[in-house]
Amino acid sequence: MSLIQQSEGVRKAAILLMSLAEDDAAQLLSMLPRRYVEAVSIAIAQLDTVSGPEQEQIIQEFVSSRPSAIGPSTGGLDKAKTLVRKALGKDAGDMLNILQQTMEALPFGFLHKADPQNILSFLIDEHPQTIAMVLSNIPPAIAAGVLGGLHPTRQLGVIQRVAEMGQTSPEAIEEVENALTTRMALFMTQAYQKAGGIPAVAEILNVSDRSTERTILDGLAKDKPDLVEEIRRLMFVFEDLAKLNDKDIQTVLKNVETSQWAMALKGASQPLQEKILGNMSQRAADMLREEMDFLGKVRLSEVESTQQKIVDVVRTLEDAGQLARPSGDEEEEFVA
């Protein structure tokens, strides 16, 4: 493991480990002295994406491969933590703490996983020198995203300053970092509430009387048929079948094939399964249970697709006046 002893050795060792499968990399990492584990894991955490050609240049003494066989590899804190956990097992705690503290102590460390557009919104009006300082201390991929959002004339000014930037005093970095941290703190932690939208329309219409619902949807259908389709899909979901009365459940059962029920109920709640099976004859219910067991594991996408087909049947039956979906959270009441 002589690579580690060279001036660029720690970085090269980090890239070598990033290029391997995680289990292999962890096994190799576990063979190193602890001081090297710390140094290499921190280097992995600091690296962003390493190109294939650079990886090949470093690992050509270990593996024989065509350049095209090696694609970009990604580092980062999560990658480093994963390798440390696999390499050290139950003894990884102290190393993970050191790794976390080291990364948090890096200049502008709180921006290393931030969205470039969020960073841009806070830097857009700053002096090019300030922007250059920030971009020089965050991962290249994030810096590129921020740079891409600047006006072309500002891009040139910032890049020129990045190129000319030498050593920056810790005080200057700390001053900019503190100011940016204060401005971004509220934005980065605030939870925004989303109001309105199609789900809101669906919820409102779900508890509206049928006359109002039909008037609105018929009116929207003239110019916005796709919007109406989205609203209707949210107004009644598969689990809402549990709100139907037994008579309407039996109407739906007559219009849906057993094979569809077997697939759809694989992803249904226990109460809904019992509701459907309870409206079948004992023999039919037993056959449906057997078919569900026979299916074994199924793709969630297939289950959801089949459930939506049954929901579409319910909508068709409702339009034909053969059943009535309940309003709100309660089943509809009937009077003699």
Task: Report pTM.
Answer: 0.38
Please answer whether residues 28 and 21 qualify as being in contact, where contact means their C-beta atoms are separated by less than 8 angstroms: no
If asked whether residues 132 and 216 sit together in one domain, one would say no
Same domain membership, residue 162 and residue 222: no
Residue 20 tokens, joined? 């391997």
Q: Check whether residue 115 and residue 172 sit in a common domain.
A: yes
DSSP H or E stretch at residue 49? strand 49-50
Count of positions (residues) in the chain? 336
- Reply yes or no on whether the pLDDT at 203 is more than 80: no
Q: Are residues 78 and 143 in the same domain?
A: no
The C-alpha atoms of residue 123 and residue 188 are separated, in whole angstroms, by 15
Instruction: Please write the tens of the pLDDT for every residue from 128-172.
Output: 888 888 888 777 778 888 888 888 888 888 888 888 776 666 677
Q: Tokens 């009441």 appear where?
A: 333
- Residue type at position 269: S
Q: Which among 76, 104, 132 is the end of a domain?
A: 104
Residue with tokens 């024989």: 64
Whether residue 271 sits in one domain with residue 215? no
Structural domain including 168 reads 109-189
Here the CATH number for the domain that contains residue 176 is 1.10.220.30
User: Exposure string (b/e) for 108-133, b if CB count within 10 Å is 16 or more?
Assistant: beebbebebeebbebbeebebbbbbb
Each residue of 232-267: pLDDT tens digit?
Answer: 777 777 888 888 899 999 999 999 998 899 999 988
Same-domain pairing of 146 and 87: no
Report which listed range, 42-46, 179-183, 285-289, 295-299, is most confident: 285-289
Which CB contacts under 8 angstroms, 24+ apart, belong to 181-187? 181/110, 183/122, 184/110, 184/114, 184/118, 184/122, 187/118, 187/122
Residues 246 and 320 in one domain: yes
Tally of domains in the chain: 4
Q: Does residue 317 share a domain with residue 272?
A: yes
Q: Distance (Å, rounded) from C-alpha 231 to C-alpha 221?
A: 11
The three-class DSSP label of residue 153 is helix
Six-digit token string for 240: 């809402």
Measured N-to-C along each axis, helices 270-278 and 246-254 cross at an angle, to the nearest 10 degrees, of 80
Burial class (CB in 10 A: 0-12, 13-18, 19+), 240: middle
In a shared domain, residues 242 and 230 = no
Read out DSSP for 168-200? --HHHHHHHHHHHHHHHHHHHHPPPPP--SHHH
**Residue 335: predicted pLDDT:** 41
